[in-house]
Structure 1
Amino acid sequence: MITIAIRVRELVSSNVDNLVGKAGDPRKMLRLLQSEIEETLIALHGDAAKAKRQRDRLEDTAVRIAAGAEEWTGKAKIAVDHGREDLARAALLTREAERAKAADATAAAAALGDQIAEAAAVITDLEAKRTAITARIAEMVKAEAAARPAAAAATDTHVDRRIDRIDALERRAGFVDVPGEAPSPASLDDEIAGLQKASAIEAELAALKAAAPTPAKKAAGKKR
């Protein structure tokens, strides 16, 4: 199956003058090429719009997850204040996991943004190619009309309609895919990063415990 990406490259790189020179029926060939460009532009506009919607959803998701992640810091402090170190540790680990999810969503949105920009550039190239082909067809029609009696010009209408009927491009797969979930970390670097994260959690937990009110502090406060 010819993918839309390959077909776009072929259409953009096609040399109109060379194609006209080699074609047995230049005008028919140009109309076929024009029709394929129209089909491809429709597909690209649709895929770009879909990618924009996906990017916007990912950006919103990243903001929402990032905001929720920071709430776990306060929850960890509450747990420490009540002597629940286990709950505090779990809260801090959850915060880090949520931060990672937000970062992944942000990266996926940025990747879609790059693909949207690339699609816009391709659309511009194809539209320029379409304009050139349309102008070339108009020149051919004008030249043919001048070379034959005016009465014969009316016979072209039916022929042109038949030329315009071409098979639609094969349905394509989506232009962008949202990145799938990354595999579970198994490398040495990932393990070391996990150890560093655990150390940071323990340090933050110790700081929360040090700041938490102790029985002695509470008693001193009551005496005052």
Structure 2
Amino acid sequence: MLEVRDLIVDYDKTEVVRGISFEIKKGEIVSLIGANGAGKTTTLRTLTGLKRARSGSVLLEGQAIQGLPAHRIAGLGLAHVPEGRGIFPFMTVPENLEMGGYLNRDKASFRRNLETVFERFPVLRRRQHQLAGSMSGGEQQMLAIGRALMGNPKLLVLDEPSLGLSPVMCQEIVRVLTELRAAGRTIILVEQNARMALRLADRAYVLDRGRIVLQGRGRDLLDNPNVRTAYLGLATAVSAPASPA
């Protein structure tokens, strides 16, 4: 689905992504984890055209997309849910969702996508007459994901979806992402909550100061002593069910 090779990205003349390479296969969740400043968000912004790489290649289903503007990349099937959600607070829920489906000129398809989003996120149907800014943080995150799904993307790019949410809403995010994977969605996930990210991930990459230093199946990295020490604390063995191989 996506292949990244030797990606180098500067930020304010400082190299923050240093020649990373990774791939994402169709239908899997791939997580990027690492400390603040490791280059995770910069990587996502580069994939979706919000940041320009100095060098390297990004291929979506074999097509080179590096250097294309963000709206072109969105049209090719990459949907970005940014850190902080990026909803339109003074628009209603349906108006926000319409913004996510603006490339879909087929009215019947648009209505089907809208109904699918309402089925997956019942809270959005209940809140559809509200302004988005009046909803809770968790509801806004559901709206941000639903808006991205309105374009029926090939690859869903999520940056810190659990940030600032209660434990109950974090579990709701886990439920949603698990259901999306079961439905065949391909997802790249950046999460500061490394334990949650690795539980969800089919595969994961660990970034440290702009470089990939570890990679493997999510459940294997959960048990990796270096990962547990650096990102999961010194807790005892993780008891949550692991993601499928």
Query: TM-score, with normalisation over the residues of structure 2?
Result: 0.20
- Highest relative contact order (Cα 8 Å, sep 6+), 1 or 2? 1
Higher strand share: 2
